[in-house]
Amino acid sequence: MAYLDVNNICVSYGRNQALNNISMKAEKGQIVTVIGANGAGKSTLINAISGVLRYSGKISFDGKPLPYPAYKAACSGVIQIPEGRKIFPNISVAENLILGGYALRDKSQFESRLQAVYELFPVLKDRKEQAGGSLSGGEQQMLAISRGLMSNPSLLLLDEPSLGLAPLVIRDVFNLIKTVNAQGVTVILVEQNAKQALELADWAYVLENGVFVAEGSGEDLLADDVVRRAYLGVRDAT
Amino acid sequence: MNSYLASILIFTGINLISVLGMFLLMGLTGLLSFGQVGFMAIGAYVTAISYMRFGLPFGAGLLLGVGVSLLVGLVIGTVTLKLRNDYFALATYGFAEVIKNVLIYFSGYTGGSMGVFGIPAIVTLPMVIVIFLAALVLCRNFKVSKLGRNSLAIRNDELAAKVMGINTFKQKLLVFLFSAVFGSVAGSLLAFSTYYIEPNMFNWSKSVELIVIVFFGGINSLTGVVFAGMALTLLPEILHFGAEWRMVIYTAIIIVTMIYRPTGLFGRWELSLSQILGWIKGRRKSAVGRGGQGA
Amino acid sequence: MLVQQIINGLSLGSVYALMAVGFALVFSILKFSNFSHGSVIMLSAYLGLWFSNRFDVGLFPTLLVCMIGGGTIAVIIEKIGFKPIRDKNGPLIYLFVSSIAISMFLQYLMTALLGGRFFMYRPLLKSSSWRFAGITIPIVNLAMLAASIVALVFLLYVLYRTTIGIAIRAAATDLSTPNLLGININMLISITFFISGALAGIAGLFLGMSLNVYPQLGGLVLKAFVATVVGGLGSLGGAVIAAFLLGLLETMITAYIGGAVTPMVSFTVMILFLLFKPEGVAGLLGLSSGSATQKL
Ligand SMILES: Nc1ncnc2c1ncn2[C@@H]1O[C@H](COP(=O)(O)OP(=O)(O)OP(=O)(O)O)[C@@H](O)[C@H]1O
Ligand SMILES: [Mg+2]
């Protein structure tokens, strides 16, 4: 059985079915990407896996059923970095990171996690007393990812981390994801920014209206005609 | 009719008139006000004092009370309706308290905390029924008119209503004045059916009672609110075992409703005249209610 | 005389501050004015009365029992009266109305059980007043002031130095994200209610000791309401300052003008504040934390 095994899940909002029999897998240490347009159901998928939304079907993680609801999933090492960052604007950067460490099972690791995060993002160390809301968009995304990393997750679910960021900053974010992955964290990356996300991916899925319409290795999908036209067409111009 | 029953019904009718004002303000427009009781007090005292002291007839006193309430409502409304909804709620509470304290303090006219005694029981059941029905028709027409839709728009999203071109301040003031008039009339009727009035009859908990009735019936259903008003005014009279326990049961019922049926007992359900006629003619199939408008 | 009134005003203000902070704490994360807070105060006062008589103990054990009792009562109220509405995503105004209904229920329940009469605490303190340089101050007022300040400082410590406290402050701006970090939000809300109730427990004990115990004692929660609004809704610092000011104002007016006009003057002040400084004391002092556009 795969490390993360999503098996035939369905999610609906009232009468509106947002995910329809979705199955996907991720092996330990992989980056698996899901691309899709606005409203395809990407956030819904991430929220189902991380236990925010109720779903039918089965999800197993590391050989066991994935705990529900969200806080239990987080405590078992499945951490979501939500769309729109959702850092806490009214408390300091350092306090954001303290809350990030809430799910650490071994609290004595806290200091070393903090040092690791500060090493990854020296800017956060400089700004640690500043309110989270006073950071720039890019810094906030870094803080959101750092906050997620504080609990030493095994599986990181990223929902459109490039949203609203300048191209240069996007590059930094994607590089960071690679670094984190290289340290052994399995990553599920959901993106509209298809090209860069696919370049990163060991395996990728294309989501349309709540169903997967294609899957393959990142390279294969980058070469695929349909995907090129639908997701890379205009944006590929760069 | 036995006079005990008549007096209960009169009391219920008066309560309902005040409740209708609350329905317009809170159910339809979403403005929580603790001030309704203040207007009841104004109506009651103005009518009673002008009758007892200056020999003004009851009808004229009632209208005078309405006039004073409108004036006070205009001032209070202009000042407080620009505030956020929660501040408005608090300010209206302050208003009700101030009115009560004015009544206690200026005891030369009001009798202070002893109140005004010996008011004749001029109010009769038919009189209450007629005024209640008039108020009900007015409310119903308000709800289905453009004004009612404006109110709902404000309740749902005040900013959006503003963007749609509704003068939200004017609309809120209008509704506030409507509810003040309803409260004032109810107060006048109350004074002339209970022989005496005192400031403690106009505690803020009375406003709370009115608020709870509107929620119990359902903020979207005029029918529900009327039934809730009848039920919750009559219920304490019917549940006659131990006066202390009836309020306990009454409030417990309200809590259970709030938790298990937060849209109120009646939801959006409305009874219409044609349905009633339909029932009378034995055609029961039209029993499904018309929905209210807007979410 | 003036010094005496100032100290009495500050002790009254300190109890208002305890009530207001508990009130503001719940408001800051759930965004509704929790009137059932008054019932917690009232029930704690009865609890302390019963406990101190039954076991013949002094102030400190009674204080402890009132805090634990108040906290527990607040959590039970949350679970029964608010959580079902929150689970259904009901509008905030339903929580508000539910809190009013609960406070009425508990007030009538106590009236039905024990009658509307006043109960008096037996003296829990050794002496009843303190004379110093010609002024006389009731000991209960000093104890009240001391206990409130200790409790407020401790609260500050919890909110700024413990993970749970930081989470409570974070939840004030965002109730859905803490879940993603492994924080059980329902537990966090329960903890918030417990803290708020424990503070109400202290307030209940002291109010009971100085005003006697009766079912309408919870009505004093309105002072907390006034203080939180004048303080700037949701701002704990503003609420504390406003509560002290309110206590001082009321004491001064009662002493120098007369008790009959006290409510009128405090409400006039409040309404003036609302009109000209709606962001409250917090806005005045630049303390304001969350957004000023929270609805009821
Ligand atoms: N809370 C909700 N209630 C009702 N419908 C919802 C809700 N959230 C999402 N939906 C619907 O479910 C579908 C999928 O939404 P989702 O947010 O998962 O899309 P997405 O792929 O993340 O889009 P985006 O790129 O804009 O973030 C959409 O049609 C959306 O309208
Ligand atoms: Mg999304």
Q: What is the mean pLDDT of each run of 10 residues along chain A (238 residues)?
A: 93 92 94 94 96 94 93 95 94 96 90 92 93 93 94 95 90 92 95 91 94 92 84 56
Return d(Cα A90, Cα C156) in angstroms, integer: 16
Contact C97 B258 (CB under 8 A): yes
Chain C residue at shortest CA distance from A51: C180
Does any CB of chain B come closer than 8 Å to the CB of residue C123? no
Q: What integer pLDDT is reported at residue A52 of this predicted model?
A: 95
Between the two ends of chain C, the Cα-to-Cα distance in Å is 42
pLDDT (average), residues C188-208: 97
Six token digits for residue A201: 């991916």
**What's the A197 CA to ligand 2 centre distance in angstroms?**
15
Q: Encode pLDDT of C108-131 as tens digits.
A: 999 999 988 999 998 888 777 888
Helix spans in A76-189 (H):
93-100, 110-120, 122-126, 137-149, 167-182
Residues of A in contact with C173 (CB under 8 A): 88-90
Which residue among C170, C172, C184 sits closest to A99, beta carbon to beta carbon?
A: C170
pLDDT at C22 over 50: yes
By Cβ distance, the residue of B32, B105, B259 closest to C98 is B259
Q: Say what the pLDDT of residue C81 is.
A: 93
Q: Which of residues 245-264 of C touch B (CB under 8 A)?
A: 260-261, 263-264
**C-alpha closest to that of B123 among B215, B3, B284, B271:** B3
pLDDT, position A158: 96
Task: Check pLDDT > 90 for residue C290.
Answer: no
Closest atom of ligand 1 to A40 CA is: 21
C276 class by beta-carbon count within 10 Å (0-12 exposed, 13-18 middle, 19+ buried): exposed
As a whole number, the mean pLDDT across chain B is 86
Q: Do chains A and B touch (3 or more CB pairs under 8 A)?
A: no
d(CA B53, nearest CA chain C) in Å: 25
Question: How many other CB atoms are found less than 10 A from the CB of residue C113?
Answer: 12
User: What's the number of domains chain A is made of?
Assistant: 1
Where do the domains of chain C lie? Answer: 2-126+133-295
Q: State how far the alpha carbon of C27 is from the alpha carbons of B155, C22, C92, C193, in Å.
A: 21, 9, 11, 10
pLDDT value, residue A236: 44
Q: Which of A12, A43, A188, A207 to mutate to test the pocket of ligand 1 (most atoms within 8 A of CB)?
A: A43
Residue the block writes with tokens 């720039």: A136
CA angle A187, A191, A196 (to 5 degrees): 85
Tokens 């899709």 -> residue: A36
Euclidean distance between CA atoms A205 and B221, whole angstroms:
49
Rounded Cα distance between B105 and B147, Å, is 39
Choose from A50, A99, A105, A129 for mutation: most chain C CBs within 10 A: A99
The count of residues in chain B is 295
Q: Which ligand places an atom closest to the C-alpha of A207? A: 1
Kindly list the residues from chain C whose CB atom is less than 8 angstroms away from the CB atom of residue A86: 174, 176-177, 180
**Cross-strand partners of A186:** A155
Per-residue confidence band for B84, with pLDDT thresholds at 50, 70 and 90 = confident
How far apart are the CA of C45 and the nearest CA of chain A, in angstroms? 36
What residues does A13 pair with on adjacent strands? A16
- Mean pLDDT along residues B7-13: 91
3-state DSSP helix/strand/coil % of chain C, to nearest 5: 75, 5, 20
Contact B30 C100 (CB under 8 A): no
pLDDT-above-70 percentage for chain A: 97
Measured in angstroms, how far is the CA atom of residue A203 from the centroid of ligand 1? 23
**A172: domain range?**
4-231
**Residue C284 — pLDDT band, cuts 50, 70, 90?**
low
Mean pLDDT of chain C: 88
What is the H or E stretch that residue C204 is in?
helix C185-211
d(C-alpha A78, C-alpha C49), whole Å: 50
Mutate to test the interface with C, among B22, B239, B249, B255 (most CBs of C within 10 A): B255
Cβ within 8 Å, pair A95-C170:
yes
Does C157 have pLDDT greater than 50? yes
Would you state the pLDDT for residue A235? Answer: 47
Q: Are the C-beta atoms of A124 and A146 separated by less than 8 Å? A: yes
Minimum mean pLDDT range among A95-99, B263-267, C184-188: B263-267
- Pull the structure tokens for residue A40: 């395809």
Residue predicted with more confidence, C83 or B263: C83
Distance of residue A79 Cα from the nearest chain C Cα, in angstroms: 7
Q: Does domain C2-126+133-295 have CATH number 1.10.3470?
A: yes
Name the amino acid, one letter, at B72. V
Most confident by average pLDDT, B49-58, B214-223, C250-259 = B49-58
CA A207 to chain centre: 15
Q: What is the pLDDT of residue A190?
A: 95
- Angle, helix B204-217 to helix C92-114, in steps of 10 degrees: 120
Burial string for B82-121 (b: 16+ CB within 10 Å, else e) reads: bbbbbbbbbbbbbbbbbbbbbbbbeeeebbeeebbeebee
Confidence of residue B240 (pLDDT cuts 50, 70, 90): low
Q: Do chains C and A touch (3 or more CB pairs under 8 A)?
A: yes
Domain residue ranges in chain B = 3-202
Q: How confident is the model at residue B22 (pLDDT cuts 50, 70, 90)?
A: very high
Do the beta carbons of residue B104 and residue B199 sit within 8 Å?
A: yes
A102, A113, A150: which to substitute to probe chain C, counting the most C Cβ within 10 Å?
A102
Q: Are B and C touching by the rule of 3+ CB pairs within 8 Å?
A: yes
Within a domain: A238: no
Looking at residue C294, what is its pLDDT?
A: 34
What ipTM was predicted for this assembly?
0.91
The structure tokens 């995060």 sit at A117
Ligand nearest to the CA of A41: 1
- Is A90 within 8 Å of C163 when comparing Cβ atoms? no
DSSP B291: P
Least Cα distance to A213 among A40, A6, A18, A11 occurs for A40
A56 phi-psi bin (left φ>0, alpha ψ -120 to 50, beta other): beta
Query: In this predicted structure, what is the pLDDT of residue B256?
Result: 87
CB contact under 8 A, B248 and C109: yes
> Band of the pLDDT at C283, cuts 50, 70, 90?
low
Q: Which residues line ligand 1 (CB under 6 A)?
A: A 13, 16, 18, 36, 38-44, 83, 192
Nearest C-alpha in A relative to C186:
A71
Q: What is the number of alpha carbons within 13 Å of residue A79 lying toward its C-beta?
A: 28
How far apart CA A60 and CA A44 sit, in angstroms, is 17
Give me A136's structure tokens. 């720039």
Q: How far is the CA of A39 from the centre of ligand 1 (A)?
A: 5
What is the CATH classification number for the domain harbouring A91?
3.40.50.300
Contact A95 C179 (CB under 8 A): no
Using CA coordinates, name the residue in chain C closest to B158.
C295
Q: Is the pLDDT of residue B246 over 80?
A: no
Confidence of residue B253 (pLDDT cuts 50, 70, 90): confident
Q: Do C179 and A74 touch (CB under 8 A)?
A: yes
Within a domain: A236: no
In whole angstroms, what is the distance from residue C5 CA to residue C137 CA?
9
Q: Is residue A237 part of a domain?
A: no
- By most ligand atoms within 8 Å of CB, the mutation choice from A10, A15, A38, A44 for ligand 1 is A44
Please report, for residues A92, B136, B214, B245, C31, the alpha-carbon distance to residue B234 in angstroms, rounded to integers and kept in the order given. 56, 19, 15, 15, 35
Half-sphere exposure of B246 (CA within 13 A, CB side): 13
Q: C-alpha distances in angstroms, B57 versus A80, B17, B40, C25?
A: 73, 21, 19, 53
- Give the model's pLDDT for residue A234: 47
Higher pLDDT, B205 or A67: A67
Helix/strand number for chain A, H first, E second: 10, 10
Closest alpha carbon within chain B to C82? B259
Chain A residues near any Cβ of chain C (below 8 Å): 50, 52, 69-71, 74-75, 79-80, 82, 86, 88-91, 95-96, 98-100, 102-103, 147-148, 151
Bridge partners for A6 per DSSP: A24, A59
Distance CA A46, CA A73 (A): 12
Q: Nearest-CA neighbor of C44 among C21, C23, C72?
A: C72
